[in-house]
Structure 1
Amino acid sequence: MRTHTTRTTTRLALTLTLTTALFAAGCGGEKAEDGIGTKPRDRDTSSPSDSRAQQVADAWDGSKAAEAYRSGYYPMGDAAPSPSKGFHSDDDKTAYMLENYVLRGELPTTAPEEGQAKWEGGESLTLPLLDARQTYAALDRVDSPKDPHLTVTSAKLGEMTIATSRGPATVPAWLFTLEGYDEPLRRVAFEPSNLPKPPIGSAAEGRTTRDGLEQLGQLVEVSEDGRSVTVVAYHGSCDDGPAVDALETDGSVVLSASIVGGDTGAICTSDLRGEKVTVKLDRPLGDRVLLDAFMGRPLPNE
């Protein structure tokens, strides 16, 4: 088994403070504003975190769980990407980030029970299809007309392409008409497949191990060429931010998150900040399983 550990991360420096209100609204750090910064990182390659990453890689590589994962539908892109021409105003962009929509129209009441995810190599997978109202509920996490919002007036069933663990897939999507926009907002009409039982358990209870390994948030995106992945990592207000390292093998990429500066393994205040971190890989991700070293399982996309 060939392994390689990536040590340099590109940090998206504008953080999102995850307040209680945003948690209640279901809004994570995945749609935070982006700023670019670079923070090189030096660590002892024999650290406990590296040992944990290797244990996770060894458990997953060649396992039945990895085989099952490669046969399912696991999105690695945005289920509801923003319009290609952007938003008309800062308020509209904020509404999209907060996932705040208002329905002023009728949604279709009928839909097929199943749909197909289709990959470029000819493979396909039949999955239960979410109807228009179920998909709208997944899109609208806030439903607060008094705050910045986007207005949905109608919807129809169509298709979209999304990055998955098996490469780009064409999948059914509901196309929601937004008031004031010519381009509909697409939202995938599938739920991800159920994850297989991980062959290794979590590193610890809570969010942090004694040696400072942190639980990651969600996967934000995989670059088009597969040479980098962007994830949400957490930190507090009295440190230098998060860092994420990657252990690469032929079958997996294991990401280990930690906090730079401050007290090892501790967040100094009660505010938990989610920050986008982009990790450069040695080679394209391909169909390798992307794993969180802390949890010992694939990163969630939502």
Structure 2
Amino acid sequence: MRAHIARTVAVLIPIALFTVGCGSEKAGGAGSTTPKDRAREVAAAWDGSRAAEVWRAGYYPLADVIQLPEHAFRNDGDKSAYAAENYVLDAELPPVSPKKGKVEWESGSSLSLPLMDARKAYDSVARGGNDGPHLTVTAVKLGKTTLVTSRGPATVPAWLFTLDGYDTPLKRVALEPSVLPGSPIEPLENTTDDLMELQQLVAVGRDGRTVTVLAGHGACDDGAGVRVRETAGSVVLSASILGATDGDCTAQLLFQKVTVKLKRELGDRVLLDAFTGAPVAQRRIPT
């Protein structure tokens, strides 16, 4: 499967625990394996498993749960404030809200989950605290938004934060994801150039035919690549480093957005990381 790679990324994190381009070793875990064999093993472990049943019954966002206002951002200061999560609250947070919120899928199915209160939602967005540029919240109310989930597009409750200078609000989905099922296969132990852990799921296209992830690579290679293995029940992504060479290299981790195209829409198939053997991580890394 050809990966369409966006090479204009991004995020440079100078950490000393990541070194590439200095030779490779076979991946460990429950025995050594090639990347192709590993993807096959992960798919076989998940397809038809109890973990896959739990996944298909739950609510798992496949897009960022924080959605920007239209035409964001007005200037570099606002962009920096968002990246630093710097906000000033110039509004009252609603003190009471419903205890439950409902996920409503386009298929007609629904699921009721505990609703995140306004304070928790605001705190999850405004985690900064430095003296740099900030965004000012002037009003807060409960509303709805749509996003792609593990069961397709859905309408969900969201807290709407009006920002000074913007005509539409910043939206924060007001539901936590369902608890992830335990993986039926163990993660590998050792990273290699041929098989890396994916850093983060960025987004799934609304039509379900494209998947964008953050993949790591070093400073002395040609970037990150992602291979795809599709089955009836799962999509396994295998991240690797392209064009790595032997020799000394600075210990840096670069994050690169990689978009892959699927043969058919993702649907309710489980999106898996070949290295970890688990669903692709949802944690947020600034992109």
TM-score (norm 2): 0.87
The unaligned stretches of length 5 or more in structure 1 are 1-5, 22-46
**Residues in 2 aligned to 1:137 and 1:100: alpha-carbon distance in whole angstroms:** 11
Tell me the alpha carbon deviations over residues 135-173 of structure 1, each in whole angstroms, 9 at most, x when there is no partner.
Answer: 1111123232x2232221221111111110001111110
Instruction: Quote the offset at 1:20 in angstroms.
Output: 6.7
Instruction: Quote the offset at 1:16 in angstroms.
Output: 2.0
1:19 alignment partner in structure 2: 13
Please tell me whether the aligned partners of residues 75 and 164 of structure 1 are also in contact (alpha carbons under 8 angstroms). Answer: yes
Task: Give the counterpart letter for 1:252 in structure 2.
Answer: S
1:261 alignment partner in structure 2: 243
**Residues in 1 aligned to 2:259 and 2:172: alpha-carbon distance in whole angstroms:** 24
CA RMSD of aligned residues (A): 2.0
SS in structure 1 of the partner of residue 144 of structure 2: strand
The unaligned stretches of length 5 or more in structure 2 are 16-32
1:158 alignment partner in structure 2: 143
- Write out aligned runs for 1:204-243 (5 A): 204=189, 208-209=191-192, 212-243=194-225
1:284 alignment partner in structure 2: 265
1:55 to 38, 41, 44: 41
Instruction: Quote the offset at 1:194 in angstroms.
Output: 0.6
Residues 267, 193 of structure 1: alpha-carbon distance in 2 compared, 3 angstrom cutoff: farther
Task: Give the counterpart letter for 1:184 in structure 2.
Answer: P
Residues 267, 52 of structure 1: alpha-carbon distance in 2 compared, 3 angstrom cutoff: farther
Asked if residue 271 in structure 1 is aligned to residue 252 in structure 2, the reply is yes
Please tell me whether the aligned partners of residues 102 and 143 of structure 1 are also in contact (alpha carbons under 8 angstroms). Answer: no
Instruction: Quote the offset at 1:230 in angstroms.
Output: 0.2
Number of aligned residue pairs: give it.
266
Tell me the alpha carbon deviations over residues 24-62 of structure 1, each in whole angstroms, 9 at most, x when there is no partner.
Answer: xxxxxxxxxxxxxxxxxxxxxxx8001100000000011
Task: Give the counterpart letter for 1:165 in structure 2.
Answer: S
SS in structure 2 of the partner of residue 77 of structure 1: coil
Instruction: Quote the offset at 1:74 in angstroms.
Output: 0.1
Task: Give the counterpart letter for 1:151 in structure 2.
Answer: T
SS in structure 1 of the partner of residue 158 of structure 2: strand
**Residues in 2 aligned to 1:71 and 1:268: alpha-carbon distance in whole angstroms:** 45
**Residues in 1 aligned to 2:43 and 2:142: alpha-carbon distance in whole angstroms:** 40
Instruction: Quote the offset at 1:287 in angstroms.
Output: 1.1
**Residues in 2 aligned to 1:170 and 1:61: alpha-carbon distance in whole angstroms:** 28
Identity of aligned residues (%): 55
Instruction: Quote the offset at 1:225 in angstroms.
Output: 1.6
- Write out aligned runs for 1:1-302 (5 A): 6=1, 8-19=2-13, 48-144=34-130, 146-204=131-189, 208-209=191-192, 212-263=194-245, 268-302=249-283
**Residues in 2 aligned to 1:19 and 1:102: alpha-carbon distance in whole angstroms:** 28
Q: Point out which structure has higher relative CO (alpha carbons under 8 A, 6+ apart).
A: 2
**Residues in 1 aligned to 2:156 and 2:214: alpha-carbon distance in whole angstroms:** 25
**Residues in 2 aligned to 1:142 and 1:236: alpha-carbon distance in whole angstroms:** 28
**Residues in 1 aligned to 2:158 and 2:63: alpha-carbon distance in whole angstroms:** 14
Please tell me whether the aligned partners of residues 108 and 156 of structure 1 are also in contact (alpha carbons under 8 angstroms). Answer: yes
Residues 267, 82 of structure 1: alpha-carbon distance in 2 compared, 3 angstrom cutoff: farther
Please tell me whether the aligned partners of residues 161 and 171 of structure 2 are also in contact (alpha carbons under 8 angstroms). Answer: yes
